[in-house]
Amino acid sequence: MGAEDVRETFRRLLGRRFGLAAPATLVKVGAPLLGSSASLALTGRRGLPTRLEAEGFAFAEPDFEPVAAEALRALR
pLDDT value at residue 71: 95
**How many domains does the chain divide into?**
1
Question: Are 6 and 64 within 8 A, CB to CB?
Answer: yes
Containing structural domain, residue 56 = 3-75
pLDDT digits (tens, 9 = 90+) for 29-75: 988 888 888 888 778 777 888 999 999 999 999 899 999 999 999 99
